[in-house]
Amino acid sequence: MRKADLVRAVTEASGIDAVKVTKAIEFLLSSIRDALRRHEKVQLRGFGTFMVVKRKSRTVRHPGTGEITKIPEKEVPMFLPHARFKEAVSESLGDLTTALERDYQEASYFAKTGENERAVELFRSILSKDPHHIEARNSLGLVYESIGEYRKAIEEYRKILDFQPDNVDAYYNLGAVYWEMGLVSRAEEAFKKALELAPSSAEAHYNMGVALYKKGLYQRAIGELEKAVKLNPDSPRPYYYLGASYTQLKMYDKAVQMFKDLLEKEPENRNAYWYLGLLYDRKGRSDEAVAMYRKADQLSEKKQ
C-alpha cells in the first residue's frame, strides 16, 4: 500500500475530503520525522513506537586487496510495534499466511519438477498477495534464470534488495545472472557486495575468484580462491580455477598439484585430465601427457 492508497482508504472510510486527508497524513509523517531528528521517541498507544537506535560498528574485508575496513557506528530509525497491534495483525494474517505457505510449497514442487510455467504462475500469485514474500520472489528469479529470462530474474533480485539491502543470496543470484549474460564487471560488483556482507563465505570468495580469473587478474583470483579452499576444503570447484590461474602465470608445478587435488575429489573430471595433459606436454613429459589426454577422451566418450 502506497500513500495514495492510504489516502483513498481513509477518505472512503471517513467521508473526509481527500485533500484534507492528504495534508493530515503528510503532517503526521513530517511530525514523526522531525521528532526522530531530535532523537525523541514517538509513542502511539496500542500501535507502536518510532525511535532512533544505534547500529553497531563492524569490519569488512575488501575482496580485491584484502584490506580490512571498519564501518562506523550508525544511527537508524526503527519502528517497534505494540504487542496488541502485533497480535491483531497476526490473527488477521493467520489464514492468509497458511494459504500462501501452501501455495509456496506447491510452486516449489513445480519448479523442482521442471513445470516452469505453472511455477511462475503460482509464485506471481503469491507475490500479488504478499509482495514482501522474499522466498517466493527469490524462487521466481531462479525459475526465470533457469529458462533464460535473465532480465526478469534481475528484476526480481533487485526487488529483494529494495526490501532487504543486506540480502546476501540476492547478491549471489544477481551476480550469477550477470555472469550468464557475460557481464563480468557487473557480476564482480555483485559478488563484491556479497563478500562485504558475508566475508566468511567460501561461496563468495569462489565467485569473486572466478570473476577475477575471467578478467585476466590471475594473481588476485588465486588469493580469493585460496580463501575459498581454506573456508571449505571439501569443495572441488576452487581447485579448477586455481590450476587454470597458475597455468596462465606459467607456474606449472603448482598448476599440476591443483589439478591432482581436484582429481582426488572428482576422479572423473575430464577437464582436469585435459589440463594435466597440457601441463605435462609443456614440461616435456610427453608420455604422461598422452596418458592424460587419453583419459580425458575416454571420459568424454563415456558421457556421450
Residue 253: all three cell numbers together: 608445478
User: Does 65 have pLDDT greater than 60?
Assistant: no
The string of pLDDT tens digits covering residues 108-130 is 888 888 889 989 999 999 999 88
285 in any annotated domain: no
pTM above 0.85, yes or no: no
The answer to whether position 227 is within a domain reads no
Phi and psi, residue 62, nearest 5°: -65, 125
Is residue 100 in some structural domain? yes
Distance CA 294, CA 32 (A): 73
For the chain, the helix, strand and coil percentages under 3-state DSSP, each to the nearest 5: 70, 10, 20
The predicted-structure confidence for 138-153, as pLDDT tens digits, reads as follows 999 999 999 999 999 9
Q: What is the dihedral sign for C-alpha 81, 84, 85, 89? A: positive
Report the CATH number that the domain containing residue 128 is assigned in CATH: 1.25.40.10
- Does 239 have pLDDT greater than 90? yes
Examine residue 107 and state whether it is found in any structural domain, yes or no: yes
139 domain residue, yes or no: yes
How many structural domains does the chain have? 1
- Whether 35 is in a domain gets the answer no
